[in-house]
Amino acid sequence: MMNETQMLISLGGYVDVVKYRYVYFVLWFIVYVLILCCNLTIIYIIWIHRNLHEPMYIFIAALSLNSLLFSTAIYPKMFVDVLSHRQSVSHSACLLQSFFFYTLGGSDFLLLSALAFDRYVAICKPLQYATTMGTTSVTIFLVLAWFLPACQIGVGTAVRGEQKLCHFILKGIFCNNSVQKLYCVKQRFLTVWGLFVLANISLIPVLFILFTYIKIFMVAYRSCGEVRKKAAETCLPHLMVLISFSCLCGFDVIIARLESDLSKTVRLIMSVQIVVYNPLFNPIIYGVKMKEIWKHIKRLLLCGTHHPISQKRSESSH
């Protein structure tokens, strides 16, 4: 007899997939390629230019890496689904996809918190910046940003893996919190643990970010024009990313809680925004709004014949 982890779950979130399967595939493929190109460009530029080897840019590169991993956990499976006669996933693969979905989402919030703290120290306590945001501090922030969400999400994933399925149709195009509605019994532990994890990796980081930016803008308002300009140039892109990401996380909660009250088309549109908007537009926001990154992108586009190795050496000599 097939065990629980091998049982197939049907993905019922597509609209007219038989009729539009090639439209879906082309759109997914274009978006995935754009996500790869945009995020790899940000990572590449930060990696080769020594003047970008600072905490803020390292955290931005980590966010782009997160977007790459997030998209790779979602899009290849969607390619297979739209070209298949049956859109389905095994219970174990569904849990694995959900694990990466929420782990990387939690990492984004913690990385944005690290960015907020970096900007707070740089603008509010500039004399302490070199000692506070050293290599060791940056490494600790990066490790915690990936380790804490993975551990906390992993606990819930392991418990779900032991539960019995009574329903086998998921009203979505990928595995998220909606999978909870497939189990025979709703465990109180998972509900409490889910709220604990939600607070730890999203609500508390958001409150921390808002607190730090309020302090930053208070200091900038009382300071000279140069400080205000620095705050606007470096903080506004992070706030734009935070606001958009928080809205998309809200979509995920709405889909999971109100899926029976939403039409299939509305659920599909909201699901698509979750997996398209953030991974694609974050690197664009950072690429256009961050002055130093944009400068190197323009140089990369306009001076394609300039060898990056020689440029790296020239920067090292300065």
Domain at 96, CATH number: 1.20.1070.10
Residue at 258 is within a domain: yes
The burial class, CB within 10 Å (0-12 / 13-18 / 19+), for 306 is: exposed
Give residue 191's pLDDT: 84
**Domain count for the chain:** 1
pLDDT-above-70 percentage for the chain: 90
* Cα-based distances in Å from 47 to 164, 191, 212, 286, 309: 46, 41, 28, 15, 12
Q: Which amino acid is at 160?
A: R
pLDDT at residue 307 above 80? no
Top-confidence residue, 106 or 5 = 106
Question: To the nearest whole number, what is the mean pLDDT of the chain?
Answer: 85
Q: What is the DSSP letter of 88?
A: E
pLDDT at residue 55 above 50? yes
Residue at 128 is within a domain: yes
* Cα-based distances in Å from 258 to 55, 181, 252: 40, 12, 10
Residue at 259 is within a domain: yes
Give residue 318's pLDDT: 46
* 32, 68 contact by CB (below 8 A): no
242, 267, 273: which is closest to 254 by C-alpha?
267
Residue at 311 is within a domain: no
Residue at 23 is within a domain: yes
Q: Is 90 left (phi over 0), alpha (psi -120 to 50) or beta?
A: beta
pLDDT at residue 313 above 60? no
The C-alpha atoms of residue 154 and residue 203 are separated, in whole angstroms, by: 19
* 213, 239 contact by CB (below 8 A): yes
* 114, 141 contact by CB (below 8 A): yes
Question: What are the tokens at 180?
Answer: 């909870």
Give residue 314's pLDDT: 46
pLDDT at residue 144 above 90? yes
Structure confidence by residue, pLDDT tens digits, 232-266: 777 888 888 888 888 878 777 777 666 656 778 88
* Model confidence band, residue 4 (pLDDT cutoffs 50, 70, 90): low
Give residue 308's pLDDT: 46
pLDDT at residue 303 above 50? yes
Least confident among 6-20, 22-36, 51-65, 69-83: 6-20
**Of all helices (H) and strands (E), which one includes residue 238?**
helix 225-258
* 201, 152 contact by CB (below 8 A): yes
Q: pTM to 2 decimals?
A: 0.87
* Cα-based distances in Å from 91 to 126, 184, 202: 51, 14, 26
Give residue 124's pLDDT: 87
pLDDT at residue 53 above 60? yes
* Cα-based distances in Å from 94 to 66, 159, 172, 177, 291: 19, 14, 11, 11, 40
Residue at 277 is within a domain: yes
The C-alpha atoms of residue 169 and residue 256 are separated, in whole angstroms, by: 14
Residue at 257 is within a domain: yes
> Which residue range is the domain that position 124 belongs to?
4-303
Residue at 290 is within a domain: yes
